[in-house]
Amino acid sequence: MILENPWLLFGMLLIPAIYTLYAYHLVWRKRIMKKFGEPNMVNNLLIGYSTKRQLTKLHLKLAAIAFLLLALAGPKIIASQLRTETVGANVIFVLDVSLSMLAEDIPPNRLEKAKYIVSKAVNELTKSQIAIVVYSGIAYPLVPFTSDHESIKNALHGVNTNMLPIPGSSLKEAIEMAIRFKAKKNFGSNYIFLLSDGEDHLTIPNAILDSTVNKGFKIFTLGLGTLSGSPIPVRQANGRSVLKKDQDGKIVYTSLKDQSLKLLASKTGGQYKSILHTIDGVNFITTAVKEIESTYAASNTFRHYQSLFQWLLGLALVLLLIEIIISEGKYKLHQS
């Protein structure tokens, strides 16, 4: 099973917190009742209130919340599998998810353009194993090597500039992580395609570049953005979009820094290309890969996934309906 939005499961932490607060409420209520007399006797005098029913209703609500969070996390199970024999290459896409990638000098913005290029290229690279690394201030292995291209495109949907906790552009960590990936099948050709605007890139030590070359990887860089630059729209908590400003209150402009991208490609035997249109990026990637594709045959498994969203949502609604039906009190008269 895979999850489209696994971070939503952190919401499950609310459940024990709510349960703990309710337990404290019961302790507090018992102390208050002692002031009026023996707790069991006072409880029997109360009409329209039942602790057991309240607990039952609470359990139903918490279970409904759990199923709802799980549904929103987007769980999918394998519905069918197909095994095929293919030939191809090892391809790693390295996506820059730093804040500057929100600039809209390439519509809809640099990051969305990068995601769309990768998605379209994946459709063409049917013979290759593909992995994805995302990076900002740190790097994260989003998808390990796989020939299941459907799962790759599903993972791309969740890529955004808020997915990593540390801002910046640590390309050094991204390259180190990419070359540590172990392919399931040893295709002879290894490619890293870096999609970035080149902003804030620190110098990558020659030792890392040498290791990249020695392990058989070539780095191809795709520059996203324009030399004239663009402001960076940032979405606030209220949903409004404002332009990023510096400490002096001036609007921050970001432009394509292609020199670092050109240097990186040339030192590893790859190529650089400035990208304005999707078709240019897709053609650049597919042409580079297909020119030297390995003739090594590999067995691949393609999976079709089925969403469980509607089933989990249905369970949550049923539990809430049962909770509404259950009355809160005892509904019996006290007889003296």
Average pLDDT over residues 28-33: 74
Question: For the chain, what percent of residues have pLDDT higher than 90?
Answer: 34
Kindly tell me if the per-residue pLDDT of 213 is higher than 60.
Answer: yes
DSSP 3-state of 230: strand
pLDDT tens, residue by residue, 216-252: 889 999 999 999 999 999 888 777 889 988 888 899 9
Give buried/exposed letters for 14-24 (b at 16+ CB in 10 A, else e).
eeeeeeeeeee
Give buried/exposed letters for 85-100 (b at 16+ CB in 10 A, else e).
ebebbbbbbbbbbbbb
Q: Which of 91-100, 170-179, 254-263 has the lowest mean pLDDT?
A: 170-179
Whether 21 contacts 27, CB under 8 Å: no
Residue that wins the pLDDT comparison between 78 and 65: 65
| pLDDT-derived band at 283, boundaries 50, 70, 90 | very high
Backbone CA torsion sign across 211, 214, 217, 221? positive
Q: What's the predicted TM-score (pTM) here? A: 0.62
pLDDT tens, residue by residue, 1-23: 777 788 888 888 888 888 888 88
The pLDDT of residue 23:
83
